Structure 1
C-alpha cells in the first residue's frame, strides 16, 4: 500500500509578526507546507489532496492552535484536524507523557494518524475527534452523529437526528442547561433543553425549526431583526438564577485583551486599539451598574426565524450583566453587515432610541470582534482587522489623544477607582501609578477605606505564575490576582530602603540581608519554573545581540563567559529571587524584607548572591566617593552568606557575577565601559593565541599524550592513582616561559596540575623553593605552596599541584581585608630561615580560597635579598592597580593597611631603604614603559622612583 500527496496548492494565509518562541507558525499557516509535513502520517492507501487552514487561536510567545480542513481523494467531505504549536520543548514533553496516544487509541480508522508529534513545527497533531480538552468527544462522535460546529479545545456541537449535543472544555453545561430551562419557562422561544451530563461536560437540546436570521435579506431581515429586538427585551426582563456576574471590571479586562490581540497582530495599530479600550472603559464606568440576565453573545447568528416568531439559541455565554452589552454586540454585527436600516428596526423592537450612551457598548463589541478575520484565517485578515478597529473608533466621541501603553491597555481600567472597586467588591478611594515601565509592567497604589494595597500589572502572561509563587513563598502572602485585568494585588509593606545603609558601609545590615536571602533559599517549597545556567546565558545572549554601544567588547566577554561555563559545576535547585539587588530590599525595624519576586524560580542560590554583589559594584560606580564603604558592605554580605552556605561555589559566584555585570553594561550604557572592565576582571584568564612551531618546546608542552608519558609515573606516585589521559590548556606564554593547565583523567576522577616550561631549561630555583617551603611547614591549614610533582631540568619543566581559589587581586575590590592573608604568608616566608625573597610578590600571586590555606605561586624570581623588597613591591603594585582601575593611587589604601597588619602578626615590618624602594619603582616603570607609549602608569612609577631618590 502507498500514501501519496496531490500536487494541488492551497491559499497561503498572511502570518502575524515573527514570534521567536513559535518559529513554526508561518509554516503552520501554509497549507502546502503542512500537507508535506503530514505526508508521513497519512494512512496507507490514502491520498491527501489539499490542506486548508480554517481557524486559529494564538497566544503570543506561548502556543498557537491551527485547525485544518483536509481533503482526501475518493472520500466525501473534509476531515478536520488541528495542530497545536508550543514554545520551547513543551510539545515534546506533552507527547512523551503518552496520554494523547491513549486517547487516540480509542478512535477508529481514519485517513490520517489520530495523533502525532510534529517536531518540525514544535507541535502536536490531533485528528478529529481526538481532542484532549474534550475527552468525551471521541465517544460522542459516533457514525450516527453529524458534526455541526467545532472549535478545537473549546466546544463541539453534534447532531443526533432530532437532538443536538454540545460538549464543553469546562463545567458550564449545567449552567447552560438551567439557563435554557429558565428562558423557556418565561415563554421565550428557545431550543428545548433535554438533558445534561455533567460528567461528560455535555448539554442536550431538541431540534428547532427556523431559518438563521443572518441568512435573510431585505424586508425579511428587517422584520426578523425587529422581532429579535423584542425577544431580547423579554429576555432582559426575566430572572435567571445562578448566572455569574459580569462587572465593568470584567468588561474592561475583555477590552484590554482585545486591544492586546490587535497590537500583537498589527503592532502599528496597537496604540489606537489601546485608546479605544481606554475610552470605552471610562465611558462604561460612568453608567449606572444596571444588571439583568443577558445572552452574552447576541447576534444575528444566534437567532432563528420561524413561522410563529423568532427563536433564541446558544446561552453558552449568559451572564448577569448590563443589558446594553447584548444590544451593543448585536449592533456591532449589524455594522459589520453594513445594514443601517436594520439598526433602527432592532432598536425599535427592543424599545430604545439610538442613544449616544449605547455607542461605547457597540464600540467595545467591535473592538472585541476586530481579530475575528484572523481567527477565521481570511486571506485579507489584516485589512478586515483594520476596518473593524476603524468602525469601533468611529462609534466614540472624538478621540482624546490620551497617552496609552499599547502593551498595557488595561491601565485605563486599573487607574479608574470605580472599575477596580467593582472587581474587588470594596470601595476604592484612589488609584495612582507608582512606577511604570512602558511596554513591560506597572505598579499602582490603591487607597481603600482603612488600608492600602499595591497592584502590579504585566504586559506578559506572567501574573498567574507570580501569584502562585507568592502564595508558596508567603513573602508576603498576596491578596488576589484579578485575571481579567492582569492585576496582582499585595498588601502594603512598610520599611526603609537599604541603599543608604549600604552606601555607609554598614556591615551588619549587609550580613542581615545575606541571612534573609539564605532563608529564602532554604524555604521548603518547589516553584513551577526551573532556571538553568543555559537559561541564564540565553537571556544574556539576547541582550547582547540587541546592543549597539560596546557590542564587540561585550561579545568577547560573553564568549569568555560561555567557555568558562563549560567547566563542570554543581547547579543546585532551590527557590531563588533571580532579580535580587539593593532596591529590592527594605528594612523594617532592622529586619530585611525582600520585594518583587516576579522572576522567582528553582535555581542555583549563587545566582542571587552574584546578582546582589554585581549591583553593589554598579552602586559603587554610581557613587564613586562611597566606593570603599560599598566594598565593605559587599564583603560582609559575601562573607556571611558563605558562612551560611558551605556548598556555595566561589568560582560559580564569580562567573555569575561577571554575567550580571555584562547584563548591567547592556542596560546602563553611560557606565558600559567600567562595567565591562569589572566583568573582564572576574572572568578566568584566556589562553593566549599562539602559533606553534613544529618540534618546539611549546608544541611538546601542549601535547597531552606526550605529557602523559612524561608525568604518569610521578602523578601516580604523588596521588596514588595512575592517569590514563591528559588534556592541556595554555594559560600564559611570554618571555620564553609558558604556563599550562593539565587535567589528567584517572579512575578516581580528574586531577589538575600546573606545568611551567622554561625555554632556557630553567625552573631549578622554583623547584627547590617549592620543595624547601613544603619541608618548612608551608603545607598546613593557614599557609601553603603547591606540592612539586615533577621537575625535569633538561626539558625545562616544573609540574606542581594546581592550587584552588581566586587570586587576591580579583577580590580586593570587595574584600580589601583579605590582604591580611598575603601579609601573614610573606612574614612566615621571610622568617622560615631560607634568607629568600619572592622577587615579584604581588596580589596576583596570592590565592585566597574561601576554605583552605593561603597559597602563593610563581617563584621564578626567588633569590636571596632584602625582605623589604617584597613588601615594597606588593604595596607599589597595589598603588598602580588603584591608578589603573579607578584613577586613584590610594584606592587600595585599606588593602595596604590590612597587608601590613597581617605581616606584623608574625614579624615586624622590615625597614625600607630608599635605594630598595627606588629599585622597586624603577623596575615597575621599566615594565610599563617597555615598547609602549609613556602612559599614566609608567609615568607614575617613574616619578615615584625619582621622588624616592630625591628625598
Structure 2
C-alpha cells in the first residue's frame, strides 16, 4: 500500500473509531463535531486541523485547532479552541460567550443543527481560552515586561512570537523576542503560589544540575508563569547524539543523588500510582472497549510489580517524573534538562523507564526484548558511570507504566492511527512485564 493510500485508510479508521465513540457517549451530542477535522472546518467555514483533545466522558470535550492551510505559521492567531458539553451545561458556554462579547472578545456559539438546540459548540481564539485567560492577560499587562520580553505592537501573541505548544485549558508555551536571546514563556492554569518551582530550580543549580536559569519571579509564578532563555539546537529526540545522551544520564544520576528535601511517604506514592492506573484504565475502556480486558490485566500486573511498600520497596529519591529525550535540550555535547513540573519522590527506575518507553513509542518497529533502544543504552551507561544503580527489570516495569499512561495520547493528539497506536501501547507494555 502506498504512503498516500495508507494515510487515507488510517484516517478512515480514525473517523470510524471517533464516530463509534460519539455514538456511545450520547450525553455529549456535539462530540463528533469537535473530533473531526472536516466537520469542524465546515462548521467554522474555514480549514482547520485539530491538534489536541481534552475529553471528559459524558461531560465535555474541548479541542485546540490550527487554522489555514499553512501549518508553519506559529502565531497565536493561527490557533483556536472549540468546546462542546452535555445539554445541562450549555448555559455555561452561553455565559462565557456573552461575557466575551461584552468585552469585545471573539468567543461565539455555533449550532450545527438547528433542529437540535442541545448540540452547541463554543469557539474562540487562543487568548480567550477561559481557564488560561486570566493568566494570559496578566502576562500581557505585567509579565512580559518583568521578563524583559519585547513583543511587537498588536496582538501580543502574534508573530514574531511563536507558539511552541498549546494544550487547551491547561497551558501555553511561546517563544517571545527580547533584547538579547528569545525567551521561552510557559503560562499554565495552575499557579505556583508558594514559588516551589523557583526554589527547586535554585536547588538544582546549587547541585550542579544542567538546567536553564529561571527568569520568572514569585509574582510571575503566582500567575502560572515560568520562563527561561531560549537555548540550544533542539532536543535529544532529534537524532543520535551519544555524548549528549551519556551526559544526560550522568545528570539524571546527580538528580537522584540529591535526595528529597523532606521525608518521603511511599504509601502516598503508591496511592498516586493506583489513581493514575485506575484513571487510565477507565479512559481506555471508554475510548476502546475492546481493550478493556488487556487494560485490566495490565493494571493489575503493574500494581503488583510497582506497588510494593515496606522493606522490599525501592529507595525513594527525587525524580524528574516525566523524563524523556524531548526534555533534554542539546547544543553539541552540552545538555540542559527542562520541565520539572512533575518532580516527586519515587523509585529512581521511574525516570529511566519513562525515557525508554518514549524511545519505544518513537520507533515501535525497533522495539526489542528490553525497553528502549540506543539512546536508552547510552543514557544508562552515563547513569551507571555517575554512580547510579538500577535493574533492567525495574526499568522495564516503569517503561510499561509510562506506555500505559501514554496509551491515551494518540487519541488526545489526534494521531491518524490512534486506535492501532493505543492497541500497540498496551501490547508493548504487557510484553515488557510478561
TM category (shorter chain) comes to 0.7 to 0.9
Partner in structure 2 of residue 905 of structure 1: none
Establish whether residue 227 from structure 1 lines up as the match of residue 233 from structure 2: no
CA offset digits 1:167-217 (Å, max 9, x no partner): 111123722222222212211111111123144221222222243100013
User: Aligned partners of 1:98 and 1:76: how far apart in 2?
Assistant: 27
Paired residues for 1:159-558 under 5 Å: 159-161=175-177, 162-172=182-192, 174-196=195-217, 197-217=220-240, 220=241, 222-239=242-259, 241=261, 247-286=269-308, 287-336=312-361, 337=363, 338=366, 340-351=373-384, 352=389, 354-397=391-434
Bigger radius of gyration: 1
User: Aligned partners of 1:61 and 1:343: how far apart in 2?
Assistant: 40
How many angstroms does 1:322 deviate by?
2.2
Q: Provide closer, same or farther for how the CA distance between residues 266 and 28 of structure 1 changes in structure 2, counting only shifts above 3 A.
A: same
Q: Provide closer, same or farther for how the CA distance between residues 98 and 311 of structure 1 changes in structure 2, counting only shifts above 3 A.
A: same
Q: Provide closer, same or farther for how the CA distance between residues 328 and 72 of structure 1 changes in structure 2, counting only shifts above 3 A.
A: closer
Q: Check the 8 A contact 1:92/1:119 in 2, yes or no.
A: no
Q: Check the 8 A contact 2:28/2:84 in 1, yes or no.
A: yes
User: Aligned partners of 2:52 and 2:183: how far apart in 1?
Assistant: 26
Unpaired stretches in structure 2, ≥5 consecutive residues: 1-10, 113-118, 141-155, 367-371
Partner in structure 2 of residue 56 of structure 1: 53
Paired residues for 1:874-913 under 5 Å: none
Partner in structure 2 of residue 83 of structure 1: 82
SS, match of residue 340 in structure 2: coil
Partner in structure 2 of residue 434 of structure 1: none
User: Aligned partners of 1:305 and 1:62: how far apart in 2?
Assistant: 41
Partner in structure 2 of residue 119 of structure 1: 111
How many angstroms does 1:156 deviate by?
0.9
SS, match of residue 89 in structure 1: helix
User: Aligned partners of 2:132 and 2:78: how far apart in 1?
Assistant: 18
* Higher relative contact order (Cα pairs below 8 Å, separated by 6+ residues): 2
Which residue, 145, 150, 155 being the options, matches 2:166? 150
Establish whether residue 32 from structure 1 lines up as the match of residue 38 from structure 2: yes
User: Aligned partners of 2:343 and 2:380: how far apart in 1?
Assistant: 21
CA offset digits 1:448-477 (Å, max 9, x no partner): xxxxxxxxxxxxxxxxxxxxxxxxxxxxxx
User: Aligned partners of 2:206 and 2:80: how far apart in 1?
Assistant: 39
Aligned residues: 368
CA offset digits 1:66-113 (Å, max 9, x no partner): 22111079x9567111111111231333323667416863x5xxxxxx
CA offset digits 1:585-609 (Å, max 9, x no partner): xxxxxxxxxxxxxxxxxxxxxxxxx
Q: Check the 8 A contact 2:246/2:382 in 1, yes or no.
A: yes
Paired residues for 1:720-735 under 5 Å: none
CA offset digits 1:24-49 (Å, max 9, x no partner): 2222222222122223xxxxxxxx3x
Q: Provide closer, same or farther for how the CA distance between residues 244 and 28 of structure 1 changes in structure 2, counting only shifts above 3 A.
A: farther
Partner in structure 1 of residue 147 of structure 2: none
SS, match of residue 307 in structure 2: helix
Q: Check the 8 A contact 1:81/1:126 in 2, yes or no.
A: yes
The normalised TM-score by structure 1 is: 0.37
How many angstroms does 1:300 deviate by?
0.5
User: Aligned partners of 2:382 and 2:102: how far apart in 1?
Assistant: 49
How many angstroms does 1:297 deviate by?
0.6
How many angstroms does 1:258 deviate by?
1.3
How many angstroms does 1:293 deviate by?
1.6
User: Aligned partners of 1:103 and 1:129: how far apart in 2?
Assistant: 16
SS, match of residue 200 in structure 1: coil
Q: Check the 8 A contact 2:400/2:428 in 1, yes or no.
A: yes
CA offset digits 1:654-676 (Å, max 9, x no partner): xxxxxxxxxxxxxxxxxxxxxxx
CA offset digits 1:784-805 (Å, max 9, x no partner): xxxxxxxxxxxxxxxxxxxxxx
RMSD across aligned C-alpha pairs, in angstroms? 2.7
Q: Provide closer, same or farther for how the CA distance between residues 103 and 228 of structure 1 changes in structure 2, counting only shifts above 3 A.
A: farther
SS, match of residue 310 in structure 1: strand
User: Aligned partners of 2:60 and 2:329: how far apart in 1?
Assistant: 36
Q: Check the 8 A contact 1:347/1:354 in 2, yes or no.
A: no
Deviates more, 1:28-37 or 1:350-359: 350-359
Q: Provide closer, same or farther for how the CA distance between residues 103 and 365 of structure 1 changes in structure 2, counting only shifts above 3 A.
A: farther
User: Aligned partners of 1:244 and 1:56: how far apart in 2?
Assistant: 35
Partner in structure 2 of residue 132 of structure 1: 130
User: Aligned partners of 2:263 and 2:390: how far apart in 1?
Assistant: 28
CA offset digits 1:361-414 (Å, max 9, x no partner): 1111110011111111011110011011111000113xxxxxxxxxxxxxxxxx
How many angstroms does 1:340 deviate by?
2.5
SS, match of residue 390 in structure 1: helix
Q: Check the 8 A contact 1:100/1:132 in 2, yes or no.
A: no
User: Aligned partners of 1:364 and 1:76: how far apart in 2?
Assistant: 36
Q: Provide closer, same or farther for how the CA distance between residues 355 and 306 of structure 1 changes in structure 2, counting only shifts above 3 A.
A: same
Q: Provide closer, same or farther for how the CA distance between residues 98 and 20 of structure 1 changes in structure 2, counting only shifts above 3 A.
A: closer
Unpaired stretches in structure 1, ≥5 consecutive residues: 1-10, 40-47, 108-113, 398-951
CA offset digits 1:785-830 (Å, max 9, x no partner): xxxxxxxxxxxxxxxxxxxxxxxxxxxxxxxxxxxxxxxxxxxxxx
How many angstroms does 1:157 deviate by?
1.2
User: Aligned partners of 1:388 and 1:227: how far apart in 2?
Assistant: 29
User: Aligned partners of 1:318 and 1:54: how far apart in 2?
Assistant: 27
The normalised TM-score by structure 2 is: 0.78
Q: Provide closer, same or farther for how the CA distance between residues 76 and 299 of structure 1 changes in structure 2, counting only shifts above 3 A.
A: closer
User: Aligned partners of 2:69 and 2:234: how far apart in 1?
Assistant: 32
CA offset digits 1:324-354 (Å, max 9, x no partner): 2112111111222336233322222222465
User: Aligned partners of 1:201 and 1:242: how far apart in 2?
Assistant: 24
Q: Check the 8 A contact 2:64/2:166 in 1, yes or no.
A: no
Q: Check the 8 A contact 1:103/1:132 in 2, yes or no.
A: no
Q: Check the 8 A contact 1:225/1:345 in 2, yes or no.
A: yes
Q: Check the 8 A contact 2:353/2:398 in 1, yes or no.
A: yes
SS, match of residue 166 in structure 1: strand
Q: Check the 8 A contact 1:194/1:204 in 2, yes or no.
A: yes
Partner in structure 1 of residue 148 of structure 2: none
How many angstroms does 1:308 deviate by?
4.7
Partner in structure 1 of residue 92 of structure 2: 93
CA offset digits 1:417-447 (Å, max 9, x no partner): xxxxxxxxxxxxxxxxxxxxxxxxxxxxxxx
Q: Check the 8 A contact 1:89/1:122 in 2, yes or no.
A: no
SS, match of residue 283 in structure 1: helix
